[in-house]
Structure 1
Amino acid sequence: MNGEELREALRTEMAVTTRPPSLSVDAALRTGRRARVRRRAAWAGVGLTAALLAVTGVGAIGAVGAPGSDGFTPAAPGVGPVEPPSVHDTKPAWPTGPDGRPQEDRTARAGTRYDQAVRLLDELVAVVPAGYTLPTDPANPPAGQPLLRDHQAQFDDRVNGVEVWSYTSSLTVQQGQRLGRLLVEVHSAGNPLPTEPCALARQFWGMPGDCEVLTVGATQVGVVVRSGADDRFDQWAAYRHPDGVVVFVAQSRRLGDGRPALTALPFSPRQLATLAGDERFHLR
């Protein structure tokens, strides 16, 4: 076949073949809009299905694992594994009071422990040197003013099944218009306080100071003779009895409420050390 014959054959084929429809912009837009509607419908169906599954089944599965544990996260805030209460979050088991019921908090307000704190205050009153008066509190003391006499028995902890208590009694001493304070604090056996005299003394209310070890008879007592930056007390002595009971005896020239302070402390450092080892403060 020569070139002329080829061109003739092509013209004949084109003449007998149906022409494709002409391109219409409107038709193309309509086709695109229909495709977009179909896609939106499809995605809407997927979203609805996912929501239903989250409510009925899949959401429950997603709530089983903790976030990041196996790829699931809680379906919504508050949905997820319920952790058992921590032992640190449980309410402490307070000691039983004289009525046979647990105390409301750490403080004993009746019973043997309460009586021990009262006794401690009575013993403190008995050792006040001559030349001081002991004022008492009015029936309704002003708010915020420290009590002139106070005592407390407090449950601290259980160590190897044994209750550890602390007893604190404080007393205001007066000379003329000047006021100071004495305090005794006793920790029962089983407490975790240190044994070395000065290390023990510096555990008193966490206050630092210059400490000396004084020998009283056969015992050694730690005495802070000068307080540090924390001057709630000027001096204090600390002694651990052989059975583990710890006694602190502290003194201050002032009450800390702005009233005139004593010109001198009631006890010398050696007298403080002697009181710390005195059997009258050895509560068991």
Structure 2
Amino acid sequence: MANTATTSQITGDIYGLYINGKYILGDTFSRADAIKTRLNYIFSDPNRDLDFITPSYANGEYVVSCPLVRKNTGQVTYLYDTNSSDGWKQYPAKLYEPTNWTNSGGIGQTAILTATGAIPWLYALTTANAIRAAVNPNFASAANDNPLKPLVVPSNTGINVQSVVSSSAHCAFYGHPCQGTSAGTTSSSCSGYSDLTAYQNILNVSVGNGEVLHPVDLTCAITSTNSWSTTYRNKFIKVTNLSNNQSIIVRVTDTAPANKGVELTYRAWASIGKPSGSNTVKIELMGS
């Protein structure tokens, strides 16, 4: 079923943005109209995987986007499967395709909006959820959710840090754009990326809390050591690159190996300067 974004005046220069008749947000006419136009560009693509409507980060700001992840277009993502006799399985959509913050129009559109307010990471998450709840998916998600599953909203939604989890922790990433481009345990390096020479393929499309792994979303896996993975699951944490003091707020949705600190999605990792290895990041728990 097709999707349509519309606007309607609420009062003065404040207009409501609606998807399929469901209210999403209110804003100035120019902003609401721009978001409507971007959404309708995205909706014009019948092969777009709308499960990838998620919070993200671009140009130094928290945003909502829908990466150009498409099904039924000959694209395949390979997932390493330890239970398979041949060592791999596949999903008929390229989950780890690189994306850009663009306003190109047509099916190339990925940007939806820039988050506002005092807590922009929370605004981006709740607005993404409102859009996800209103759309008619073009097909079920990679986790077979239809309608789309809401992304978990952490209970600690305060603007300030509550406590330090670690002043010096290990940092890595997962969900690299090159992952899943070839069958097997790893994918070879691909054009435009020089982070590694080979990329460990992802085992499953879903993470520990049941959501699909969205590589441009602001999420992470945190180590099982010291029960961090259970203590901080579905919480907002702040990760700071100790070499440049750049920070990002992410949700803990998955478990990282013992003694491996935090593994950020590729977008979150790249946004703070790609910290890699031991003693490279500070991890803090956000307050309620």
TM score, norm. by length of structure 1: 0.26
Greater helix content: 1
Larger radius of gyration: 1
Give the number of the structure whose residues are more often strand, by fraction. 2
